[in-house]
Amino acid sequence: MTTLDAVDRALIHALHVDGRAPFTKIGDVLGVSTQTVARRYRRLRSEASLRVVGLPDPQRAGQAEWMVRLTATPHTAQDLAQALARRADTAWIKLMSGGTEICVNVHTPAASDHALLLRDIPRTASITAVSAHQLLHRYFGGPTAWLGRANALDAAQIAALTPVHTGPGKPLTGDDDALMAALQRDGRASLAELAAATGWSAATVARRLADLQAGGTVFFDLEIDPEPLGATTQALLWMAVAPARLDRVARTLATHPELALVAATTGPANLVAQALCPDAAALHHYLTHRLGALDAIRTLETAPVLRTVKAAASR
């Protein structure tokens, strides 16, 4: 497993704050050379699967976001997960619970008939159960990501790196498809590379990117293998919370450093979270002491994550 030192962790935190910050700026803030930042970035890409990706905010982009849970026979689950990973409308896919469950995050146009959910899941006897849950509100996750990777910089360094966006922002249109595809492949692609991908001038790309970022229509997320950061155990947590207390519980959970996602959802479990912990004992401690102290949580289902089959950067 890749070993991270203080410079690596500071670089990861810097990219968490601004995924497109120039290496010269990051070097100035961290007190290291530009060459050191570039060299560490290349190593983290190679050894820790680090990726900066540009993504649309689902709500601002007029998309509905779903989590689809499929249960399949053990010998077919991995093949099914790989087939779903090839779809453009799947954002991430996790193999769960002993290798028999697949959890798929799906983005669809808000006004669509949700074809994946209703028609396009392969018709096979190996699938024994399917359930679909629309994410109604993200309390944490997306533009604000797991705090376990964002604990190396002080307040002054964070302020120096935080981008300033002005203006109301602009919605995505079909003309942005090539730009978004390029940013999803590499959120740090240069303006020249983005110009080549879109057929626009570099100046046009810069203006359009600024417009999309200003209102939060597009954000830059950071993906990295959590194990080098000390999180070897992952789980999705499905909770049923008394409706009158859902908002308060969700806002509390959004402050927990163990969680990378907190969202209200449809279905018997009306709150879902993703936990990242150092080991199984730490996950048990979190469930029994942190979540156990919240009496509004009426039921809790813990689904261990065995492997991430697809992440946003692998679209």
In a shared domain, residues 158 and 283: no
Give me 294's structure tokens: 């919240």
Domains of the chain: total: 3
- Nearest C-alpha neighbor of 270 from the set 301, 235, 243: 243
Residue at 144 is within a domain: no
In a shared domain, residues 197 and 68: no
Query: Among 30-44, 62-76, 132-146, 234-248, whose mean pLDDT is lowest?
Result: 132-146
User: Considering the chain, what percentage of its residues have pLDDT values greater than 70?
Assistant: 92
**Which pLDDT score, from 0 to 100, does residue 314 have?**
47
Query: To the nearest 10°, the Cα dihedral for 147, 152, 154, 156?
Result: -90
Segment 232-250 shows an average pLDDT of 96
CA 193 → CA 10, 56, 236, distances in Å?
27, 19, 37
- Taken in order 30, 31, 34, 35, the sign of the CA dihedral is negative
| Structure-token match 């669509």, residue found | 112
Query: Among 121-125, 199-203, 307-311, whose mean pLDDT is lowest?
Result: 121-125
In a shared domain, residues 238 and 172: no
**Which pLDDT score, from 0 to 100, does residue 122 have?**
58
- Tell me which of 196, 223, 250 is where a domain ends: 223
DSSP H helices, 86-144, are 115
| Structure-token match 């002491």, residue found | 289
Q: Residue 111 — pLDDT band, cuts 50, 70, 90?
A: low
Higher pLDDT, 110 or 252: 252
Q: What is the per-residue pLDDT across 25-64, written as a single tens digit (0 to 9) for each?
A: 999 999 999 999 999 999 999 999 999 999 888 777 777 8
Residue 50 belongs to what domain range? 6-56+150-223
In a shared domain, residues 114 and 257: no
Segment 3-20 shows an average pLDDT of 94
**Which pLDDT score, from 0 to 100, does residue 114 have?**
53
**Length of the chain counted residue by residue:** 315
Segment 245-267 shows an average pLDDT of 95
Segment 283-308 shows an average pLDDT of 95
Q: What is the pTM of this model?
A: 0.83
- Tell me which of 223, 253, 270 is where a domain ends: 223
In a shared domain, residues 50 and 155: yes
- Taken in order 151, 157, 161, 166, the sign of the CA dihedral is positive
* CATH assignment of the domain containing 295: 3.30.70.920
Under 8 Å between Cβ of 51 and 189: no
* Residues in CB range of 111: below 8 A, 6 or more apart: none
Under 8 Å between Cβ of 209 and 218: yes
Give the separation between CA 11 and CA 19, rounded to whole angstroms. 10
Helix, strand or coil, per DSSP, at residue 19 = coil
- Tell me which of 117, 138, 159 is where a domain ends: 138
In a shared domain, residues 278 and 134: no
**Which pLDDT score, from 0 to 100, does residue 115 have?**
52
- Nearest C-alpha neighbor of 198 from the set 175, 170, 179, 212: 179
**Which pLDDT score, from 0 to 100, does residue 64 have?**
84
Q: What is the per-residue pLDDT across 195-229, written as a single tens digit (0 to 9) for each?
A: 999 999 999 999 999 999 887 889 898 888 888 88
Segment 147-163 shows an average pLDDT of 90
Under 8 Å between Cβ of 164 and 278: no
- Mean pLDDT rounded to a whole number for the chain: 88
**Which pLDDT score, from 0 to 100, does residue 129 have?**
86
**Which pLDDT score, from 0 to 100, does residue 315 have?**
44
Give me 208's structure tokens: 């359009």
Residue 18 has pLDDT above 80, yes or no: yes
Q: What is the per-residue pLDDT across 264-284, written as a single tens digit (0 to 9) for each?
A: 999 999 999 999 999 999 999
Give the separation between CA 256 and CA 276, rounded to whole angstroms. 11
Give me 232's structure tokens: 């070897």
Higher pLDDT, 253 or 77: 253
CA 89 → CA 66, 67, 155, 307, distances in Å?
10, 12, 37, 20
Give the separation between CA 242 and CA 252, rounded to whole angstroms. 14
Residue at 145 is within a domain: no
Residue at 313 is within a domain: no
Residue at 267 is within a domain: yes
